[in-house]
Amino acid sequence: MRSAHGVAVCTARLELSMLARRLLFVIALVSARAVAQSFPDTVAISALARTLASDSLRGRGPWTPENARAARILATELQRLGARPVFGNALLVPFVDAQRPADTVYNVVGVLPNRAGSVVSDLVGLTAHFDHLGVGKPDAAHDSIYNGFLDDAIGCAMVLDVAKRFVRDPGSRGLLVMFFNLEEQGLLGATALASRPDAAKITARLRLLVGVDAGSPAGEALEWQLMGASPSHAAGLLADSLARAHGWTTTASPPRPISDVFPFSQAGVPILFPIPGRVWRGYTDPQRTAAMVRFDHYHQPSDEWNHAFPLVGTWWFAEWLWEIVRAN
């Protein structure tokens, strides 16, 4: 009895210590995962997009001081992440358009090192445009500031979100981040950059350029158009397989001059420009239409930050962008 009792106690202790070890192992595994895994930060995305779309930036209009301020805000954010200049020795890259020869304007361009700390490796590029329409014809509510929240303040904020995650968990290729100016004036900033004589040495290293400028759907989009993925290229097929893992479908289409990625595709860079489709998870067709009427105000003064804007679609879009960048 006694010895049996002793053995039982002993076994119980042994089991307890094994349980403790297993528990420690599980805790270690979970915390290792917590370090490796990251997620889109929609609070930060919304905050930056709100800043860029605030009335004080007056719609980031072309050739305005507020447009230059928006460029500086983004350059500062990139600098904080440790981005290095690619053209000249600053993240603010000046250019002049023939229409306004006396007015210098800026693109924002920087590269984040790959996991070996190199900025001269092959690159994956990510871009959004920070300019919008500025101040113009007032709408029925007498609002004349075209804030451009979905077009494309939120795109800039999503690009920066991916950049932050990349800094925590860099890939084998460096990440080239480009915030273009004067997109709304006819892709002027992207065209100016792509046609610089010293751009060829960058485009030759650019394995993929992803553009973000189709707003963000208010819900999780289940179908996407991948402009630039036709004729098919490796990054397009990869983006499609990542989409399928989420239960989404994609349709490839050829490059069209509707985005800043277009001049780069003409220079031979594989591009992707994801455009959310018309089916969203949990939305009936009339519900989706109602959400579009409420939030999607393309090129109107009411395209502005709205506390009620659901960020679930933004979360999924930003997550997919990260997966595409990280897998390439």
Nearer to Zn ion, 97 or 151 (CB): 151
Residue 162: CB minimum distance to Zn ion, A? 18
Nearer to Zn ion, 151 or 220 (CB): 151
Beta bridge partners of 211: 127
Cα angle for residues 59, 67, 310 (degrees, 5° grid): 45
Question: Is residue 97 part of the contact set for Zn ion (CB under 5 A)?
Answer: no
Tokens of 187: 């892709």
Stretch that binds Zn ion, among 26-34, 47-55, 119-127, 144-152 (CB under 5 A): 144-152
Q: Which residue has the tokens 């239409």?
A: 289
Nearer to Zn ion, 38 or 225 (CB): 225
CA–CA gap between residue 230 and residue 217 (Å, rounded): 23
Residue 66: CB minimum distance to Zn ion, A? 17
Residue 267: CB minimum distance to Zn ion, A? 21
Residue numbers 147-176 binding Zn ion by CB under 5 A: 151-152
Listed in sequence order, the residues at least 6 apart from 124 whose beta carbon sits closer than 8 Å to its beta carbon are: 171, 173, 174, 175, 176, 206, 207, 208, 209, 210, 325, 328
Residue 133: CB minimum distance to Zn ion, A? 10
Sort residue 68 into left (φ over 0), alpha (ψ -120 to 50) or beta: alpha
Tokens of 288: 């989706």
Question: Is residue 131 part of the contact set for Zn ion (CB under 5 A)?
Answer: no
Residue 150: CB minimum distance to Zn ion, A? 8
Q: For CA atoms 118, 266, 235, 248, give the dihedral sign.
A: positive
Question: Is residue 260 part of the contact set for Zn ion (CB under 5 A)?
Answer: no
Measured in degrees and rounded to the nearest 5, phi and psi for residue 111 equal: -125, 135
How many residues bind Zn ion, per CB under 5 A?
A: 3
Nearer to Zn ion, 151 or 161 (CB): 151
* DSSP β-ladder status, 271-276 and 223-227: antiparallel
Nearer to Zn ion, 151 or 240 (CB): 151
Nearer to Zn ion, 213 or 319 (CB): 213
Q: Give the contact letters, 191-230, x = binds to Zn ion (CB under 5 A), - = no.
A: ----------------------x-----------------
Residue 155: CB minimum distance to Zn ion, A? 7
Residue 37: CB minimum distance to Zn ion, A? 31
In terms of Cα–Cα distance, which of 196, 198, 194 is closest to 180? 194
Which residue ranges make up the site for Zn ion (CB under 5 A)? 151-152, 213
